[in-house]
């Protein structure tokens, strides 16, 4: 179903509630794109009775497969203040089209007993050492310094510790290794549908009717809530008369 067909289906469903209501293309486009994002969030995070992760559900993978980016390499930069003198941290910013993180690992350089490194003009640490790719352990921000002070849980070249924020990943290292790159699998933002430029929905066709229904429901709920708010905020004729008499 292309974007014009989705717009037509949207309007047909709207006419079932109000035949006189005709939305501009820009309005239809807004509600369709909002519904698309809502559907993706539900498919990724939503109802999961079997308590399985996103990648353990074939149906959920099939629904969102076009949005999955694999092994995206991101250059790490040195974070000067790691909050501790015994450990360093490297960080990467998520790509602009980032939506959800699926997995992440680090490409590290290590050398025993200690790796020598310098910081280049771009803020990246460079050093000579053995290169390998390892999975990161993920820690909550509140727990990171407890792990760093625990000799049995501290970061090692085979097991760095990562903290994930809204915009970036921080990977903590000890004196023996640095992070060269961080590799992530992630779910990217979908391209925005655009009616005038004929940019269609890139999600699988079996989801298009669901997106349309969500768009209609969201518009009607928004209209209903707006109407109720205006009714609460607009004084009635009796209230206006009472105010005048007072």
Contacts of 37 (CB under 8 A, 6+ apart): 189, 190
- Closest alpha carbon to 6 in 243, 192, 201: 201
61 within a domain of the structure (yes/no):
no
Residue whose C-alpha is closest to residue 213's, from 6, 21, 2? 6
Query: When comparing pLDDT for 95 and 229, which is higher?
Result: 95
Residue 59 has which token pair?
A: 């149906």
Q: State residue 82's pLDDT score.
A: 62
Q: Contact 125/190 with Cβ under 8 angstroms?
A: no
Confidence of residue 117 (pLDDT cuts 50, 70, 90): very high
At 243, the pLDDT band (50, 70, 90 cuts) reads low
User: How far is residue 240's CA from residue 170's CA, in Å, rounded to a whole number?
Assistant: 60
Asked whether residue 109 is assigned to any structural domain, the reply reads yes
pLDDT greater than 90 at residue 101: yes
Q: What is the pLDDT of residue 45?
A: 82
* Residue 114 within a domain: yes
Please tell me the predicted confidence (pLDDT) of residue 58.
75
Pick the residue with more confidence: 5 or 47?
5
pTM across the whole model: 0.83
- CA-CA distance, 137 to 19, in Å (whole number)? 56
What phi and psi, each to the nearest 5 degrees, are found at residue 37? -65, -45
Sheet holding 168-173, edge to edge: 77-79, 88-93, 168-173, 161-164, 137-139
User: Looking at residue 51, what is its pLDDT?
Assistant: 45
Across 3-7, 93-97, 181-185, 231-235, least confident range: 231-235
pLDDT of residue 23: 83
Check whether residue 136 and residue 26 sit in a common domain: no
Share of the chain above pLDDT 90, in %: 65
Nearest residue to 147 (alpha-carbon basis) of 130, 169, 171? 171
Same domain as 211, residue 183? no
- Average pLDDT of the residues in 122-131: 94
pLDDT digits (tens, 9 = 90+) for 185-197: 999 999 999 999 9
How many domains does the structure of the chain reveal?
2
Give a yes or no: residue 18 inside a domain: yes
pLDDT digits (tens, 9 = 90+) for 223-238: 877 667 667 776 655 5
Residues 75 and 184 in one domain: yes
Q: How far is CA 150 from the centre of its chain?
A: 32
Q: Which two tokens stand for residue 103?
A: 């997995």
Question: What is the residue range of 230's domain?
Answer: 3-47+204-234
Q: To the nearest whole number, what is the mean pLDDT of the chain? A: 87
Does 91 lie in the same domain as 163? Answer: yes
Q: Which residues contact 69 (CB under 8 A, 6 or more apart)?
A: 95, 184, 185, 186, 187, 188
Q: Is the pLDDT of residue 28 over 90?
A: yes
Same domain, 86 and 110: yes
90 and 177 belong to one structural domain: yes
State residue 19's pLDDT score. 65
Instruction: Tell me the angle at which helices 25-45 and 3-15 cross, rounded to the nearest 10 degrees.
Output: 100
Which has the minimum average pLDDT: 18-32, 126-140, 187-201? 18-32
Beta bridge partners of 73: 183
Section 208-219 average pLDDT:
95
Q: Does 226 lie in the same domain as 161?
A: no
Buried-exposed string 115-142: b where 16+ CB fall within 10 A, e elsewhere = bebeeeeeebbeeebeeeebebeebeee
């Amino acid at each position: 179903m292309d974007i014009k067909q989705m717009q037509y289906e949207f309007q047909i469903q709207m006419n079932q509630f109000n035949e006189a209501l005709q939305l501009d293309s820009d309005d239809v486009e807004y509600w369709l794109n909002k519904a698309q994002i809502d559907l993706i969030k539900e498919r990724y995070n939503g109802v999961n009775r079997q308590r399985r992760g996103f990648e353990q559900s074939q149906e959920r993978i099939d629904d969102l497969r076009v949005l999955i980016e694999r092994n995206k390499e991101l250059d790490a930069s040195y974070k000067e203040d790691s909050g501790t003198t015994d450990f360093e941290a490297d960080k990467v910013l998520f790509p602009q089209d980032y939506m959800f993180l699926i997995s992440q690992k680090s490409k590290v350089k290590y050398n025993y007993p200690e790796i020598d490194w310098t910081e280049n003009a771009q803020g990246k640490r460079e050093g000579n050492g053995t290169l390998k790719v390892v999975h990161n352990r993920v820690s909550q921000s509140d727990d990171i310094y407890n792990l760093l002070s625990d000799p049995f849980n501290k970061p090692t070249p085979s097991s760095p510790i990562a903290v994930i924020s809204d915009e970036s990943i921080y990977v903590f290292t000890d004196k023996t290794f640095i992070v060269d790159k961080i590799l992530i699998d992630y779910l990217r933002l979908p391209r925005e549908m655009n009616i005038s430029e004929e940019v269609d929905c890139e999600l699988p066709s079996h989801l298009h009717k669901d997106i349309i229904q969500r768009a209609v429901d969201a518009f009607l709920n928004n209209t209903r809530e707006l109407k109720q708010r205006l009714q609460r905020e607009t004084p009635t004729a009796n209230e206006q008369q009472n105010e005048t008499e007072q």
